[in-house]
């Protein structure tokens, strides 16, 4: 047993020597101490205390390097301000502005004395106030100039505290990296001189400019303002505008057909929701809620519809649902097939994914710029903007749902002679249905979230009431309209996802 323990200890020592590179005897002792109990055990690493973040970089612990680099930069900024900083600059600039104003008041006083103007006394009082303010600003500047030692002391204390933290955490983080290295030899290990030089360079590139910027803001103009030229932005903007104009002219037929199709779909939905007698629409919605989610949701739906009707939101709510329905219908009709195609072709999804990221990351107001440029304002433009904003979830969830179908199930179906069409309709889609429906639900709710934004380009509906409330500071009316939008969202959410809950 003793011989076995000795062999294990020797193998562990050999692994530690291979991992640490330098300081093998020190780290064998430290790691043996730390491995006696799980969790953190206090030790101090002199090399880490001396080098600070550079030690972490040399050891390949880049996340720790970045964290300590940021906090130590703050300490060096305090030292730089105390040693080289112009601490009274702001007060002196304020004093200079007050002095300029005071000179102007004195000139006005001289002119008033010569002309005997009645404003002479008020000008003298203003000049006296300015003289007091000038004296206070000069005193504040002198006091600020004398606080350099405080900044130096504060910076030194911070730096010592941060270096103590570095020394206390260094061995613990390195031992954790050693544990990862034992199972994955691609993990960074050893003491690397190139890594140390790179981390030292990064340390200088971060600490030095930051210290100069806060200590002497006007010393290096390059650090205060990004080197640019306003004409560059104007030139790029003109190029984009020319591209928009050419696209609009070349694709006039396509955009006109798109607008006509959107308007026809909207008109049809508005006939269903707005033109149909309200008792019929309300009854159908309540029955749909009951069949989809049960009696409790049906009661809530009836109460929400009563709110919309009694407070005169019915027509606008139905118009909003019509616009939402058009956008969601197009998004779902195009999104699910595209998601199925991307799920079976990873290369296609690798191209589509950045587009989806762009569609979800771009602020919703920015969508209105190209939409209005190509389609114009009105409800069709609102449908297109809503569709762009709401399409990504259904595509992503469809891909996710199909990718999560167990491979064993698909293999079993293929083994029993399933055709690709049968496999898709009878195996993949049923197993991915819950995830796909979650994407449909998210698409509907995100489309409804565009109601207020789409009203900016003439989409009408409940968003128009919210905008009017913002323009005229009508808080009560705005809250009521916002609650109407909320109830529409809750009704749709419960109907679409009711049974699965």
Q: What is the mean pLDDT of residues 447-475?
A: 77
In a domain, 240, yes or no: no
Is the Cβ–Cβ distance between 335 and 396 less than 8 Å? no
User: Are residues 112 and 80 located together in one domain of the fold?
Assistant: no
Give the pLDDT band (50/70/90) at residue 501: very low
Range from 7-11, 331-335, 471-475, 480-484 carrying the lowest mean pLDDT: 7-11
Q: Look at residue 285 and tell me whether its pLDDT is greater than 80.
A: yes
pLDDT number for residue 223: 75
Q: Look at residue 8 and tell me whether its pLDDT is greater than 70.
A: no
In a domain, 193, yes or no: yes
Q: How far is CA 410 from CA 76, 343, 395, 398, 418, in A?
A: 61, 14, 21, 17, 9
In a domain, 243, yes or no: no
User: Are residues 96 and 73 located together in one domain of the fold?
Assistant: no
Residues 20, 356: Cα–Cα separation, whole Å: 44
Q: Look at residue 28 and tell me whether its pLDDT is greater than 80.
A: yes
Mean per-residue pLDDT of the chain: 84
Q: Count how many domains the chain has.
A: 3
Q: By residue range, what is the domain housing residue 217?
A: 2-86+149-224
pLDDT number for residue 499: 53
> pTM of this prediction?
0.67
pLDDT in tens, 383-421: 888 888 888 899 999 999 999 888 888 888 888 888 888
In a domain, 238, yes or no: no
What CATH number does residue 271 fall under? Answer: 1.10.3720.10
In a domain, 232, yes or no: no
User: Are residues 94 and 52 located together in one domain of the fold?
Assistant: no
pLDDT in tens, 52-103: 999 999 999 999 999 999 999 999 999 988 888 777 777 778 888 888 888 8
pLDDT number for residue 273: 79
pLDDT in tens, 145-157: 777 788 889 999 9
In a domain, 244, yes or no: no
In a domain, 286, yes or no: yes
User: Are residues 322 and 416 located together in one domain of the fold?
Assistant: yes
User: Are residues 107 and 155 located together in one domain of the fold?
Assistant: no
Instruction: For the beta carbon of residue 260, count every other beta carbon within 10 angstroms.
Output: 11
User: Are residues 130 and 153 located together in one domain of the fold?
Assistant: no
User: Are residues 272 and 176 located together in one domain of the fold?
Assistant: no
User: Are residues 321 and 197 located together in one domain of the fold?
Assistant: no
Give the pLDDT band (50/70/90) at residue 7: low
Q: Specify the long-range contacts of residues 127-135, CB closer than 8 Å, at least 24 apart.
A: 127/102, 130/98, 130/101, 130/102, 130/105, 131/102, 133/98, 134/95, 134/98, 134/99, 134/102
Element (H, E) at 223: helix 221-224
Q: Which residue, 97, 128, 145, sits at the end of a domain?
A: 145
Is the Cβ–Cβ distance between 215 and 223 less than 8 Å? no
Question: Higher pLDDT residue, 279 or 492?
Answer: 279
Instruction: Report the share of the chain in percent with pLDDT over 70.
Output: 97
Residue 311, classed as helix, strand or coil, is coil
Is the Cβ–Cβ distance between 209 and 69 less than 8 Å? no
Q: Look at residue 201 and tell me whether its pLDDT is greater than 90.
A: yes
Q: Which residue, 145, 175, 190, sits at the end of a domain?
A: 145
User: Are residues 39 and 175 located together in one domain of the fold?
Assistant: yes
User: Are residues 82 and 93 located together in one domain of the fold?
Assistant: no
Residue 189, classed as helix, strand or coil, is coil
Is the Cβ–Cβ distance between 174 and 55 less than 8 Å? no
User: Are residues 332 and 379 located together in one domain of the fold?
Assistant: yes
Question: Higher pLDDT residue, 305 or 501?
Answer: 305
Instruction: Report the share of the chain in percent with pLDDT over 90.
Output: 17
Q: Which residue, 145, 160, 185, sits at the end of a domain?
A: 145
In a domain, 242, yes or no: no
User: Are residues 175 and 300 located together in one domain of the fold?
Assistant: no
């Amino acid at each position: 047993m003793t011989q076995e323990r000795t062999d294990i200890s020797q193998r562990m020592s050999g692994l530690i020597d291979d991992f640490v590179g330098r300081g093998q005897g020190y780290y064998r002792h430290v790691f043996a101490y730390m491995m006696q109990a799980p969790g953190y055990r206090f030790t101090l690493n002199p090399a880490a205390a001396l080098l600070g973040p550079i030690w972490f970089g040399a050891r390949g612990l880049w996340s720790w390097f970045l964290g300590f680099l940021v906090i130590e930069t703050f300490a060096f900024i305090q030292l730089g301000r105390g040693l080289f900083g112009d601490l009274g600059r702001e007060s002196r600039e304020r004093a200079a502005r007050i002095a300029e104003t005071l000179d102007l008041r004195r000139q006005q006083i001289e002119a008033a004395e010569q002309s005997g103007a009645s404003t002479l006394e008020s000008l003298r009082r203003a000049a006296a106030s300015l003289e007091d303010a000038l004296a206070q600003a000069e005193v504040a500047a002198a006091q600020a100039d004398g606080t350099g030692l405080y900044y130096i002391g504060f910076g030194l204390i911070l730096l010592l505290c941060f270096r103590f933290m570095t020394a206390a955490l260094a061995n613990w983080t390195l031992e954790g990296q050693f544990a990862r290295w034992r199972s994955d030899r691609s993990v960074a290990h050893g003491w690397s001189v190139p890594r140390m030089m790179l981390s030292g360079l990064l340390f200088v590139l971060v600490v030095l400019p930051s210290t100069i910027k806060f200590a002497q803001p006007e010393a290096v103009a390059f650090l205060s303002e990004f080197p640019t030229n306003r004409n560059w932005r104007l030139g790029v903007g003109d190029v984009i505008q020319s591209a928009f104009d050419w696209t609009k002219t070349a694709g006039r037929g396509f955009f006109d057909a798109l607008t006509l199709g959107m308007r026809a779909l909207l008109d049809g939905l508005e006939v269903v929701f707005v033109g149909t007698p309200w008792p019929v629409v309300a009854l159908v919605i309540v029955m749909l809620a009951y069949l989809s989610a049960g009696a409790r949701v049906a009661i809530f739906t009836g109460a929400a519809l009563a709110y919309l009707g009694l407070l005169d939101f019915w027509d606008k709510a139905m118009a909003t649902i019509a616009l939402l329905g058009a956008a969601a219908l197009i998004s779902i009709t195009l999104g699910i097939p595209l998601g199925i195609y991307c799920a079976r072709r990873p290369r296609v999804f690798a191209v589509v994914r950045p587009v989806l990221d762009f569609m979800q990351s771009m602020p919703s107001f920015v969508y209105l710029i190209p939409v209005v440029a190509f389609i114009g304002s009105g409800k069709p433009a609102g449908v297109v903007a809503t569709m762009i904003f709401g399409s990504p979830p259904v595509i992503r969830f469809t891909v996710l749902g199909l990718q999560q179908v167990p491979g064993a199930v698909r293999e079993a179906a293929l083994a029993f002679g399933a055709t690709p069409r049968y496999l898709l309709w009878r195996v993949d889609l049923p197993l991915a249905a819950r995830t796909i429906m979650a994407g449909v639900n998210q698409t509907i709710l995100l489309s409804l979230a565009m109601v207020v934004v789409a009203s900016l380009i003439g989409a009408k509906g409940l968003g128009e009431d919210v905008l009017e409330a913002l323009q005229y500071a009508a808080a009560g009316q705005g809250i009521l309209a916002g609650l109407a939008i909320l109830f529409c969202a809750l009704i749709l959410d419960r109907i679409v996802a009711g049974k699965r809950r």
